[in-house]
Structure 1
């Protein structure tokens, strides 16, 4: 892939991210609320399971509740995916200059570099998204009226540092993208090599893969990444939640959140909301890579 095609990766990634968020956002709201629920916060409702959470939110908060934080989610996801695919392919091209073909190490390094840059650039958006998703009828104090109001209020009441809460676990979550993309690329290569042996007349890898292949590759690579990194997502959500009315945060920092979660909830606490997360992300990953690969092929 030449540098001339890097912008196509950014466009394809942004379109893929937008499609993913629109499809899966209600499950993202449920996941976030499960992640921060520790049984000791009166401002957070207790849901029995994912269907019960969806039904309860729909009944008590309506469509607005199911799509709380949708604007920052769309903004963050579109920017993140666009930048991620751009940085990833740019880094991969740079690492491959002196090599004839790609390797797992190149994919891993490229994904880690891209993930770190995206995390630094988009963390404020995810803080706002998390806080908007956690607003509910049981919430006390003045709620944020939207994306702009959330940014202004956070800056006024807590300062710019609050917009970077959860950055540490966010950087650890770079491993998520690295695992996902490495698994995707390696599995993709295996399938392409296998199909190429069966159909040697086709020179293009895109001709050898179907939409079903992209869906399976996206879901399987995402599953591996989720199982390995999910506890960091829980810690990030807990650290990013809004302080109490008196301005005292529930968790001082990521270390405090990890220690408190381990002591009071055990290993189960680090995997709260994983069912909603799997229901959201496995189909979403399939959609993302189907859209990405097809848009990329179309642009080329």
Structure 2
């Protein structure tokens, strides 16, 4: 296949599988992220297990899978487009440099791809957040009937620009994927070198990584990127909330949101929801990279 189409297909399959399997933890993470201690939007869940049980009891399966369609759509588009653009920009940078890429150019390639994906998918993530913050368990009416209705109502009530609420922190969060891909690529090279060292008697081209290696590297790279960039995920979720009934917007931008969190919640407020986030995203990342590498290998044999 030309122009890294196989990378896009592998990314789409990987994104679909992981998002569908682990979506309830994404709902929990989003709800924890907006618990700001005043003007409560969601109930006060004690921990991740309590949140899952409470949502299941009050809202049923639909509550645990609120916003699933935009999550699957956004994830599939994001991973497919990201892997496609990332491998394309890597090829361009490799031709420009005429050598293997190091950590710096892996970071640049991932950042270029991430910024483009961010511009395409922000409205989808906005709709997902809004859908995850409504339901009978939240004590508010459900203003949105579904994905398409949420986009239409947001545009009608808040204007076209509202579809890009949270774009600022989203662009900053491009660094999350950039750091993860840099860590994954560098870890991949190190793991391959170690395998070649321990199998020095074999031909160099016969030594390759195992599926378990891809899963471990995918998980570890996600932990690294999450710990560094998580505060911006909280900021983005707060900004993307639906305006209050009187039309007020609780959080107006990155600096205002950061100041409010620090004032009312302290530094720990920037890490609300990190436990369900890691519980969802670390295995999701392991599965994503494992599925991606396996599907890519299968497609390249065609």
Q: TM-score range by the shorter chain?
A: over 0.9
Q: Which residue number in structure 2 is paired with residue 68 of structure 1?
A: 66
Q: Counterparts of 2:248 and 2:123 in 1: how far apart (Å)?
A: 20
Q: Which residue number in structure 2 is paired with residue 126 of structure 1?
A: 125
Q: Which residue number in structure 1 is paired with residue 8 of structure 2?
A: 10
Q: CA deviation at 1:249?
A: 1.2
Where structure 2 has 5 or more consecutive residues not aligned to the other structure, the ranges are none
Q: Counterparts of 2:264 and 2:66 in 1: how far apart (Å)?
A: 29
Note if contact 1:17-1:78 (Cα within 8 Å) is conserved in structure 2: yes
Q: Which residue number in structure 2 is paired with residue 231 of structure 1?
A: 231
Q: Counterparts of 2:234 and 2:50 in 1: how far apart (Å)?
A: 20
Counterparts of residues 281-296 of structure 1 (less than 5 Å): 281-296=281-296
Q: CA deviation at 1:25?
A: 0.3
Q: Which residue number in structure 2 is paired with residue 271 of structure 1?
A: 271
Matched, 1:203 2:217: no
Picking from 20, 23, 34, the partner of 2:21 is 23
Q: Counterparts of 1:187 and 1:252 in 2: how far apart (Å)?
A: 39
Q: CA deviation at 1:245?
A: 1.2
Note if contact 1:141-1:245 (Cα within 8 Å) is conserved in structure 2: no
What is the TM-score with the length of structure 1 in the denominator?
A: 0.96
What is the TM-score with the length of structure 2 in the denominator?
A: 0.95
Structure 1 vs Structure 2 CA RMSD:
1.3
Q: Which residue number in structure 2 is paired with residue 103 of structure 1?
A: 102
Per-residue deviation, residues 245-288 of structure 1 (Å, max 9, x unmatched): 12211112222111100111111100000000010011001000
Q: Counterparts of 2:144 and 2:243 in 1: how far apart (Å)?
A: 13
Where structure 1 has 5 or more consecutive residues not aligned to the other structure, the ranges are none
Q: Counterparts of 1:101 and 1:203 in 2: how far apart (Å)?
A: 17
Q: Counterparts of 1:41 and 1:184 in 2: how far apart (Å)?
A: 40
Task: State how many pairs are aligned.
Answer: 296
Q: CA deviation at 1:50?
A: 0.1
Q: Which residue number in structure 1 is paired with residue 134 of structure 2?
A: 135
Q: Counterparts of 1:143 and 1:45 in 2: how far apart (Å)?
A: 18
